[in-house]
Amino acid sequence: MKFPKPHTLKSIANLIDCKFVGDANFQVLGMNEIHVVEPGDIVFVDHPKYYDKALESAATIILINKEVVCPKGKALLVSDDPFRDFNKLTNHFKPFVAATTAISNSARIGNKTIIQPNVFIGHHVVIGNNCTIHSNVSIYDDAIIGDNVTIHSGSVLGANAFYYKNRPDGYDRLKSGGRVVIKDNVDIGAGCTIDRGVSGDTIIGEGSKLDNLIQVGHDTIIGKKCLIASQVGIAGCVVIEDEVTLWGQVGTTSGITIGKKAVIQGQSGVTKSIEGGKTYWGTPIQEVRLKLKEMASIKQIPNILKQLKN
């Protein structure tokens, strides 16, 4: 998420009432999670296990809960609770603004686009040309939808990321200030839910087709011409490359990559990154030809035991 204008390190420190290490006029351009940070971004880290990863990332401002040696060319924001202060920054730069109409006056809708009754379209949404948005669809703030997109009834674009910190008094939600971006020629079935990014974008690539009842987690990127069947659940921060097929009830863990033209058979659990151009099945996921060979071998065990007894 980029800020509307550049800020200084000191001004950001003042917003969250924390110490800083570095030039007071050090330029701050935005804030992002570690997998999408760029120079000028703030990234937060609150666990020693991830200190080095954050300090060595592309981010040039690290919001951290310990005074450490500041890497050359970077700056630190030293906070007793980086998670809380990252939320403060999201609230400041991307505050929730309640809707007063079913279709926001700030929304832009293209030519020959059909909006059926009972659709909700939030602030600053952009919808392209020749789209069809069916009844009872909810499109939250800041979503970007391309041309020739169809979204069927009951789908929700832009709900909060499922991202929580476990505190003694309960779960604390990391607030979402990112977007959902739907490229051209995408079809989205009925009852799908596509969560917005925490600070970046959740993206559905050009020409991809989603069946009914699919969940897409925050900051996930789905490539071009993917085919995703009903009841698939895709976790956050997943990268699905072009022309991947996911059959019914496939589930994934977060932070993995599924390679180009991979095919995942139904009810599989994708627990790790996998290469493209192959067909997979099972939980944990395994290439189909290996899985079938393994099953055939297992079937021979009774015969082998029988022979041993004789």
Task: Indicate the helix (H) or strand (E) that contains 64.
Answer: strand 61-64
What's the CA gap between 36 and 201, in Å, rounded? 9
| Residue with more model confidence, 307 or 249 | 249
| Residue with more model confidence, 244 or 301 | 244
Q: pLDDT tens-digit profile of 255-276?
A: 999 999 999 999 999 999 999 9
Q: Which residue has the tokens 């050359």?
A: 72
* Neighbouring-strand partners of residue 21: 76
CATH 2.160.10.10 domain span(s) along the chain: 108-291
Q: Average of pLDDT values for 210-235?
A: 98
What's the CA gap between 168 and 67, in Å, rounded? 25
Q: Is the dihedral of CA 205, 226, 277, 270 positive or negative?
A: positive
Token reading at 110: 């293209």
pTM of this structure? 0.93
CATH class of 2-93: alpha beta
Q: Say which DSSP state 199 is in.
A: S
Catalytic residue IDs: 218
Q: pLDDT tens-digit profile of 180-216?
A: 999 999 999 999 999 999 999 999 999 999 999 999 9
Asked if residues 237 and 254 have their Cβ atoms less than 8 Å apart, the reply is: yes
Token reading at 128: 């392209």
Token reading at 299: 């079937």
User: pLDDT band at residue 290, thresholds of 50, 70 and 90?
Assistant: confident
Residue 298 has pLDDT above 90, yes or no: no
- The CATH architecture that domain 108-291 belongs to is 3 Solenoid (2.160)
Could you tell me which residues come within 8 angstroms of residue 170 by beta carbon, excluding any fewer than 6 positions away?
Answer: none
Question: How high is the mean pLDDT of the chain?
Answer: 96
Asked if residues 261 and 238 have their Cβ atoms less than 8 Å apart, the reply is: no
| CA-closest candidate to residue 28, choices 20, 68, 36, 52 | 20
Asked if residues 193 and 159 have their Cβ atoms less than 8 Å apart, the reply is: yes
CATH 3.40.1390.10 domain span(s) along the chain: 2-93
Task: Indicate the helix (H) or strand (E) that contains 88.
Answer: helix 82-93
79 phi-psi bin (left φ>0, alpha ψ -120 to 50, beta other): beta
Q: pLDDT tens-digit profile of 146-165?
A: 999 999 999 999 999 999 99
What's the CA gap between 153 and 298, in Å, rounded? 46
Can you give the length of the chain in residues? Answer: 310
If one counts every other C-beta atom within 10 angstroms of the C-beta of residue 52, the result is: 11
Q: pLDDT tens-digit profile of 45-100?
A: 999 999 999 999 999 999 999 999 999 999 999 999 999 999 999 999 999 999 99
